[in-house]
Structure 1
């Protein structure tokens, strides 16, 4: 007899720094709902994104393939419609797939396997946020600047609050509708919030959850000695010099960021509450992760776009206490591993026949305690770079390679703050040589560099052309049939009330 397929609830937060979460050791931030999932679930202590930028990270997460394999280079890269995603695989396996919130799909396909998309996206779907490595000094106006930090503090309302309030509402409505409509298929619902992504502002009630004087400052302040060439380029991109920020502004930004994390936790808690009150929690695997981190002023860096731990690490929890005993996993894994994990969970723990080569590997051996890999491969090909930045994390070491820059090698067990670059240490030359050889075998570096630039040229032309004359938007337009909502004369009142009530009311007899 075939086992029942579990529902999958995939919860995402945008730009969530692992080090800012209490279940990864932060002493101040409070996340009761996520902390409960961590206490009852499998927590991955060394999880990474595969490209520390929103769109390429999400394309890689969705497809299980590295950005260079699918052309998902930056925040304006097209995500091809013929690339299979976890939504395609699960839908093919009989799942009802739905997305509420952000996924930053670029290009005309705004579904990528999701049967329903319950909201629009907060970010544009076109190529307007293009990158130009051939003209690095000309800074596009859409690039991050420091206004998110200099203007940090409480607010009454923001663009992101408007979006995330809708994301959580639509997710809750989906679960209610699923519970009362008799849908026979299991569901895979992705709920993707845009907080705690900058700008660093949050309503007063969340600001007030933290004592301002207790907000911790960066452990590693900016210093010229620590600034590698890529870090200096990033500071140029977001217009930051040594006189731009005050300590007060840095503390304000971190304070608002922590408040945003509590807001995310409350939104997730509201979705989990509906899951429980509808009884769907009994057969639902809950996964929580993110697309990348946030440097939050560490090393004088903000946002993401680098391979330092604050930018590249992500939280990851798999909560299914009946299936997987609660524990911590120390081996390094990545969000690219989620597709094969979801696909195997949907197919009775057996890998389906994949229609495209995967770079990710299933997390089931880790979840089941039967071994598992300890390796992350990453590519950064976006803004602030001038050539590919490639990363290998294996065991205790992280190696970062970019042809124009000095190599970086960090021993993360001995040096978790990445203060000591071992690449020039004579004792580590053999290890660097091994990593360098592996880089050369995994990537045709010059070819990849050329492909990125060719893609940038194409998209600049297409973006310019499509913004001339009548503009046809690619942004997702969620459709709702109001003629079948609430009370209408096309359906008997008693039938409507009976179908909409959950649980079904019992007949009362006098």
Structure 2
């Protein structure tokens, strides 16, 4: 059996509403537009959780956060949870990661045979929220609006330095794979941190959006007293009261964000060019972990179930997946079974370990019965929130808050909560009963609180005395690189050349 190679391209905090059918026409993203033309494009794809670490653990495992227990950005991703890297490696694949996956805990591999870079975020429990202290801001790591007021141009930043390295290492790996020293099929995951805030971009990309018509949000800021309770909590969590956000701040933030989409497009273009010039074929998956509100409703960043935060781009280019636009709601949980399906892995050995569904049947004309599920239990929440997307409806539930119900066809900006409308009572009751069959919110809340409390104890203990970090340290074997005296120069030069000489 010949299994296909797989290239997974992941970005961070890319708003899915900007990908109605591949990148929006006005975005300067030629490489992603080219990829979109040969991909299945899922317009209504959702994250499993609108925050980095929970979203990524769910993406890799195909399991919701309550099942992975990665509730927030400082919750351990346990080693016994199978990921797509485990399933593929078990089937004979070489599995490699270049870039971010925000693993927390001592296991920094989770099925990857090789990591080419360290992560951009810490791997310990220092970012743990605390439901015992509702409303407390932990200022040194919580988001604040400095990302918006500080938006602008820079030629190098912490994040640009990181993503430059991610792309460089990925290209080097693709060249190495082309040499054919390892006959196994490969899965290379390349995961960038852009266009995640801070909203700072290189001038060459900033200049592309000088006359952009999309620098203002479509929905004006909503007064605090008119916000739903979770939006009010996020307002406080982001310290919005202590920042004066001007129209210029909003324009500059959105412009830099769009510019960083173009920056990422260039990096993806470099990777795809190496794939093409080395004559390697691969399934290509493009996805984001979650979105960014980008000032819509006056909200920024993620952490909510509104479309800008929870909807993500998802494209799959592969034989066996019909290229085109698909409107049916899907989830990043579906990537694992889809990739395994395309890799010809027996799904009976995969499905017990995933909450997702293979998208291959959907992309070949079959319907989808299951709703899309989303969870959130991290900073800015005081109790877990859950969401269901079924058909045109999205329903959000939290033990602390009034129910929410939106008709996304009639109300794409989610301005009209139908939960109190008599005409929608039956729809809400149906979705609420379905949600209650899936989630025990009281038990979920207790689990989150226990996890947080344990981690606060462990973190303080491990910071007292000698400290051994969990952060991944990339291994660079200098004695095995280039030419060394235990190597035959003639064999080396021929073996490292692609294409081979005559």
TM-score (norm 2): 0.97
Partner residue in 1 for 2:33:
35
Report the counterpart of residue 475 of structure 2 in structure 1: 479
Say whether 1:260 aligns with 2:260: yes
Residue 209 of structure 1 aligns to a residue whose secondary structure is helix
Aligned residue in 2 for 1:160: 159
Secondary structure of 2:239 counterpart: coil
Q: Distance in 2 between matches of 1:373 and 1:206?
A: 42
Q: Which residue number corresponds to residue 8 of structure 2?
A: 10
- Cα distance, 1:37 vs structure 2: 1.0
Query: Counterpart of 1:336?
Result: 333
Q: For the structure 1 residues 27 and 279, does the alpha-carbon distance in structure 2 shift closer, same or farther, using more than 3 Å as the test?
A: closer
In structure 2, the partner of 1:308 is 306
Decide which moves more: 16-25 or 155-164: 16-25
Show the counterpart of 1:209.
208
Q: Which moved more, 1:329-338 or 1:491-500?
A: 491-500
Query: TM-score, structure 1 length as denominator?
Result: 0.95
User: Compared with structure 1, are the counterparts of its residues 101 and 213 closer, same or farther at alpha carbon in structure 2 (3 Å cutoff)?
Assistant: closer
2:439 to 431, 435, 443: 443
RMSD, aligned CA: 1.5
The SS at the match of 1:435 is: helix
The worse-fitting range, judged by mean Cα deviation, of 433-442 and 7-16 is 433-442
CA contact (8 A) 2:21 2:325 kept: no
User: Which residues of structure 2 form unaligned runs of 5+?
Assistant: none
* Equivalent residue, structure 2, for 1:276: 276
- Structure 1 distance, partners of 2:213, 2:410, is 28
Displacement of 1:41 in angstroms is 1.1
Q: Cα–Cα, structure 1 residues 425 and 226, in superposed 2: closer, same or farther, change >3 Å?
A: same
Cα distance in 2, alignment partners of residues 297 and 325 from structure 1: 35
Q: Unaligned regions of 5+ residues in structure 1, if any?
A: none
Q: Report the counterpart of residue 194 of structure 2 in structure 1.
A: 195
**1:103 match:** 101
Instruction: Decide whether aligned partners of structure 1 residues 147 and 317 sit closer, same or farther in structure 2, where only a CA change above 3 A counts.
Output: same
Match of 2:219 in 1: 220
Quote the Cα distance in structure 1 between the aligned partners of 2:457 and 2:399: 27
Q: Take 2:374 and 2:67, find their aligned partners in 1: how far apart are those partners?
A: 12
- 1:323 partnered with 2:320: yes
Q: Distance in 1 between matches of 2:462 and 2:58?
A: 27
Alpha-carbon separation, structure 1, partners of 2:344 and 2:320: 15
CA contact (8 A) 2:23 2:29 kept: no
> Residue 311 of structure 1 aligns to a residue in which SS?
helix
Match of 1:390 among 386, 390, 412: 386
Instruction: Decide whether aligned partners of structure 1 residues 325 and 388 sit closer, same or farther in structure 2, where only a CA change above 3 A counts.
Output: same
1:170 aligns with 169
Secondary structure of 2:285's match?
Answer: strand
Does the 8 A contact of 1:331 with 1:373 survive in 2?
A: no
Q: Is 1:409 equivalent to 2:405 in the alignment?
A: yes
Question: In the comparison of the two structures, how many residue pairs are matched?
Answer: 500
